[in-house]
Amino acid sequence: MSKRFDGKVAIVTGASRGIGLGIAERLVAEGARVCLTARKQEALDEAVQGLGSDNALAVAGKADDQDHQAEAVQRTLETFGSVDMLVNNTGINPAYGPMIELDHDVARKTFEVNVLSALSWTQRAHAAWMGEHGGAVLNVASMAGLRPAPGIGFYGTTKAALVHLTQELAVELGPDVRVNAVAPAVVKTRFASALYENNEDEVAANYPLKRLGVPSDISGASAFLLSPEASWITGQVLTLDGGVGLTGGV
């Protein structure tokens, strides 16, 4: 494993497990130090133990809570000295079913967590460090934001907004800050389990690569987009889908 992130520091939201933790693990393996955020302190503490306390810091809180965001950024600066990378991974999907029946309070909360919090985290990282020193932001979107996804339609709507947010911020923050996104299809995590539980083989059969994703499929691509090797890439959305988009799926 290369050490292309030696001396670099990242904040990764929603990082106690799944895709977020996978990205954090990859960054640490390549030399970075990371601040992990998520709601539950116990799960974060376990993640930090796995990464090593010299490499990782845990700050528990709700992703859309601005006081939590401020605390995480400040503690990262105090502990590690910079905020060179930001991974906006936190996402929720509390509703399943037709959008025509969607409760508006649920919709507002989903938008606040999936879109507005990504903007707010980026604003704080930019004000605290990246605006003066540069950096890279990665937003974790979804295939559901690139094409219709019945049953998770509003989740997909928020991810489509996150894709557009990525592009707008890339234009605004260049040349010193790059902003990109990844758009995974179904990845085998607890968050996505309802989409493949009890019928994984059937779901995977629709993918040309004949398997669902795993967190390491996302972390490698994410690390590339955050790395110097991607220094001429900004405002892009990298689809990570095992080919399922070629067949019309999500």
Indicate which residues carry an active-site annotation. 155
Whole-angstrom Cα distance, residue 146 to residue 183? Answer: 8
Q: How many CB atoms lie within 10 A of CB 146?
A: 19
User: Using the 8-state DSSP alphabet, how is residue 113 labeled?
Assistant: I
Residue 211 in tokens: 């398997």
Whole-angstrom Cα distance, residue 213 to residue 238? Answer: 14
Q: Which whole-number Å values give the CA distances from 74 to 50, 68, 181, in the listed order?
A: 23, 10, 25
SS (H, E, C) 1-25: CCCCCCCCEEEEECCCCHHHHHHHH
Report the greatest alpha carbon distance in the chain.
50
Whole-angstrom Cα distance, residue 45 to residue 42? Answer: 5
